[in-house]
Amino acid sequence: MTPTIRLGRLFGIEVGFNWSLIVIFVLVAWTLASSVLPAAAPGQPMLAYWLTGLVGAVIFFACLLVHEFAHAIAARRRGMRVGGITLWLFGGVSQLEGEPPSAGAEALIIGVGPLASLVMAGMAYAVALAGAITGAPVLFTQLVGWLAFLNLVLAVFNLVPAFPLDGGRLLGAFLWWRTGNRQRGVRDAVWVGRIVALLMIGLGLVELFVGSIVSGIWIAFIGWFLLSAAGAELTAMEVRAALKSIPVSAAMTSPVATVPEWIKVEDFLTSVAPHHRFTTYPLHALSGEVTGVVRLRDLLRASAADRATMTLRDLATPIAEMPRAHPDESLGQMIERIGGALDRRVLIFADGKLVGIVSPSDIARILTLRQAFAPRPPRAVA
């Protein structure tokens, strides 16, 4: 998942969040300020409830980060690279590059996340208990106690055996260990996840019929999300398997047309773009060095006044922020490593030179050709 807003780098790992996280932030702060804290500590100023609720939401997000960093650090110690961490509606996603070396390694990488949440729940509960014994402010003890509860819920929810939750991936690792085949293990775990998702949808509908409208909608929505995620996980695995033996060079568009970064946007749109079929253009400086990439849609969004004064460099994505690959790398490995960043295009470098670009349409073309020429099973004859 590509973050909507990037927060920066921590321990060398890029951290960001998706816009859907705002929903959880508001929900946590509102629940604390409007119901939990007033019921536990009546008579406090409303401003105190809201400030405490906002602090609680921020701390809870910090707990989500600890959960994801547990995954990331364990993956690093097993030789895997971490592309970044994105927080979103249902927690967080650690973008791990490559496949774990063994089923045991995958189980360890996945398992440390819920374990970290359980440890934080225990620590928060101990702090809340100590605060109550020593007479700490009631708002403080109630906030910490509620954070202990949230971390416990986070750990338990993540252990549900359905993708993309940790429980689904743990089940996949277990089945991988039992069968000796990672793809088969993931496929079987996906089917189990689908059954769990359908059960949750059914439970949500039952809740709706008995009058628990809010909880019913949430349970059904989560079940629908898990059902969709299971299908996406299975499709992604099949795509990676199909492309595992195909090099990036077979899909990339080459040669690459680069344009000077100093051209005015208006001049480019009227004099250069009409003569090309591309939607993405790498830029070069006077030295010939590739400095960034500009998207046609970004140029078209600029106002008429900006088009007349701004250069392509002003609207470009810096080269350092663009995903890269080598022509000899496997397409399957590249997709697993880059993930959603593929939509921004992938620059293909060889010996320090830009030799091609890969876009989602290039991947779709390769998949279509592979399916067209794949051997078909023999037809039965009566």
Q: Tell me the domains of the chain and their CATH numbers.
A: 5-159 (no CATH), 248-373 (3.10.580.10)
pLDDT band of residue 339 (cuts 50, 70, 90) is low
Mean pLDDT of 242-251: 84
Say if residue 243's pLDDT is above 80.
Answer: no
Cα end-to-end distance, the chain, whole Å: 49
Mean pLDDT of 228-248: 79
| Of 77, 76, 63, the residue nearest 120 (C-alpha) | 63
The side-by-side arrangement of strands in the sheet containing 13-17 is 5-10, 13-17, 81-88, 91-97
Q: What is the pTM of this model?
A: 0.70
Mean pLDDT computed over every residue of the chain: 84
Catalytic positions, written as ranges: 68
Which pLDDT belongs to residue 382?
A: 36
Which pLDDT belongs to residue 379?
A: 46
The single-letter code of the amino acid at 271 is S
Say if residue 286's pLDDT is above 70.
Answer: yes
